[in-house]
């Protein structure tokens, strides 16, 4: 089976989480750059990456890379790519997105139209026809220009991977499923530990945590564009990957995952989303204000995305809100808190300097992932026995 270079984009600042996911799937990482990781894999890897990876938006199949400072360079470089090895003669193909950083070519619309012309010219010669019906499977391209190097890739995913299929109802400022999963994976949380989100909104943090706990692949309940690429990816690869995902699910796992929100309608939406995800039995949702936050047990995790004043009129409430979060957290025994927010006075009003602070771009918004670390729980007797 042929091997490919596969590119998986991720949020800036979370490349290490993405790399670990790929290594855990058993593939070789060939490059780590800002906002993306490249690895080597075959057709089966395309299927498994789409179904199993929690922290990427899509899986891209790299088809070529070349230097281009002029539109003529772009045309010739694109035409040199062996498109006939990837696109059947009835393929529907277009440049879905072109981005340019520190490059002489920067107009997305010009890049898109010139590359499309070059692809047609190549395929005319390869297939010996002058006109392409484009009524077959879809092959959208994503193109990145960085310092005049053009990287060209086919999008195997289609609709973004953060759309797991469970979130039909959302709150005002939802965090994406991929970012929520990545942030949880940045923490030492495991399924046998308590997790509470006091601003759960549509339930994304608790639902992603429950899916991780149950070993439920995020792409199990959706479709992918490249399922129609039968000449590149045998159907058996998809069937095998989905069978693997189904075999790994364990809904019998014992969890203490809780989501609170002050809005009762939002809590009902979160419950509906959890049910759609198949993890409603693993999460307890409740209408509750953050001022009522409490838990009798030790060594829990607070992982949350509180409001941070997207609207001017909301900003005046932030000092009191973050002060309340800090006060309630201080009453929890030996807990850790992980807070993603764009509010730059978080530490001041929370009442404690973060042990770690990671800058993460949520789309175009600069946010901070504040990490207030509690003590580690004592190791279990079974663990100590195994070491003897």
Q: Do the domain assignments include residue 73?
A: yes
Domain region containing 135: 3-155
Q: Does residue 313 have a pLDDT over 80?
A: no
Residue 196 shares a structural domain with residue 299 = yes
What is the rounded average pLDDT of the residues 165-175?
Answer: 74
Alpha helices for the chain (secondary structure H)? 15-25, 43-52, 71-79, 108-127, 177-186, 204-213, 235-248, 264-277, 312-315, 318-330, 346-350, 381-387
Residue 90 shares a structural domain with residue 193 = no
Residue 182 shares a structural domain with residue 322 = yes
Residue 104 shares a structural domain with residue 189 = no
Residue 68 shares a structural domain with residue 198 = no
Q: How confident is the model at residue 145 (pLDDT cuts 50, 70, 90)?
A: very high
Q: How confident is the model at residue 388 (pLDDT cuts 50, 70, 90)?
A: very low
The total of structural domains in the chain comes to 2
Least confident of 190-204, 264-278, 355-369: 355-369
Q: Does residue 9 have a pLDDT over 90?
A: yes
How many Å separate Cα 134 from the centre of its chain? Answer: 31
Q: Do the domain assignments include residue 131?
A: yes
Residue 139 shares a structural domain with residue 210 = no
Q: What is the pLDDT of residues 232-283, one digit of tens each?
A: 999 999 999 999 999 999 999 999 999 999 999 999 999 999 999 999 999 9
Q: How confident is the model at residue 383 (pLDDT cuts 50, 70, 90)?
A: low
Residue 124 shares a structural domain with residue 210 = no
CATH number at residue 130: 3.30.2130.30
Q: What is the pLDDT of residues 70-118, one digit of tens each?
A: 999 999 999 999 999 999 999 999 999 999 999 999 999 999 999 999 9
Residue 148 shares a structural domain with residue 20 = yes
Q: Which residues of 270-281 are buried (b: 16+ CB within 10 A; e: fewer)?
A: bbbbbebbbbbe
Structure tokens at 323: 């002060």
Residue 94 shares a structural domain with residue 131 = yes
Residue 341 shares a structural domain with residue 273 = yes
Residue 89 shares a structural domain with residue 198 = no
CA 361-305-286 angle, 5° bins: 155
Q: Output the pLDDT for position 73.
A: 98
Residue 193 shares a structural domain with residue 307 = yes
Q: Does residue 173 have a pLDDT over 80?
A: no
369 CB-near residues (< 8 Å, 6+ apart) = 13, 183, 186, 338, 339, 340, 357, 358, 359, 360
Nearest to 306 by CA among 291, 285, 295: 291
Q: Does residue 311 have a pLDDT over 80?
A: no
CATH number at residue 353: 3.40.50.150
- Report the 10 Å Cβ neighbour count for 230: 12
CA 166-310-197 angle, 5° bins: 45
Q: Do the domain assignments include residue 170?
A: no
Q: Do the domain assignments include residue 37?
A: yes
Q: Do the domain assignments include residue 262?
A: yes
Q: Output the pLDDT for position 312.
A: 54
End-to-end CA gap in the chain = 45
């Amino acid at each position: 089976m042929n091997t490919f270079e596969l590119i998986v984009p991720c949020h800036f600042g979370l490349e290490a989480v993405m790399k670990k996911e790929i290594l855990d799937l058993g593939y070789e990482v060939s490059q780590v750059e800002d906002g993306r990781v490249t690895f080597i894999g075959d057709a089966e890897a395309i299927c498994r990456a789409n179904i199993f990876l929690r922290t990427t938006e899509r899986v891209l199949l790299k088809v070529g890379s070349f230097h281009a400072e002029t539109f003529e360079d772009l045309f010739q470089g694109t035409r040199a790519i062996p498109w006939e090895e990837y696109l059947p003669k009835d393929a529907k193909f277009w440049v879905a997105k072109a981005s340019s950083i520190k490059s002489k070519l920067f107009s997305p619309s010009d890049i898109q139209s010139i590359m499309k012309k070059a692809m047609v010219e190549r395929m005319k010669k390869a297939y010996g026809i002058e006109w392409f019906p484009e009524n077959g499977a879809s092959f959208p391209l994503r193109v990145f220009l960085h310092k005049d190097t053009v990287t060209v890739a086919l999008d195997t995913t289609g609709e973004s991977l953060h759309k797991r299929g469970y979130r039909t109802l959302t709150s005002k400022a939802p965090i994406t499923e991929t970012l929520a999963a990545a942030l949880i994976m940045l923490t030492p949380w495991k399924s046998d530990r308590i997790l509470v989100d006091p601003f759960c909104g549509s339930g994304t943090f608790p639902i992603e945590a429950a899916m991780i706990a149950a070993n439920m692949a995020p792409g199990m309940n959706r479709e992918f564009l490249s399922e129609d690429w039968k000449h590149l990816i045998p159907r058996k690869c998809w069937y095998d990957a989905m069978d693997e995902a189904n075999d790994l699910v364990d809904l019998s796992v014992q969890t203490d995952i809780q989501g609170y929100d002050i809005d009762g309608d939002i809590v009902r939406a979160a419950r509906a989303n959890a049910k759609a995800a198949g993890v409603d039995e693993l999460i307890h949702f409740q209408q509750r204000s953050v001022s009522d936050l409490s838990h009798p047990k030790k060594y829990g995790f607070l992982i949350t995305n509180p409001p941070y004043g997207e609207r001017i009129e909301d900003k005046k409430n932030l000092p009191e809100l973050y002060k309340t979060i800090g006060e309630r957290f201080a009453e929890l025994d030996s807990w850790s808190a992980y807070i993603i927010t764009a509010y730059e006075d978080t530490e001041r009003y929370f009442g404690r300097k973060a042990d770690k602070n990671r800058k993460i771009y949520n789309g175009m918004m600069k946010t901070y992932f504040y990490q207030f670390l509690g003590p580690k729980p004592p190791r279990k007797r079974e663990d100590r026995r195994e070491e003897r």
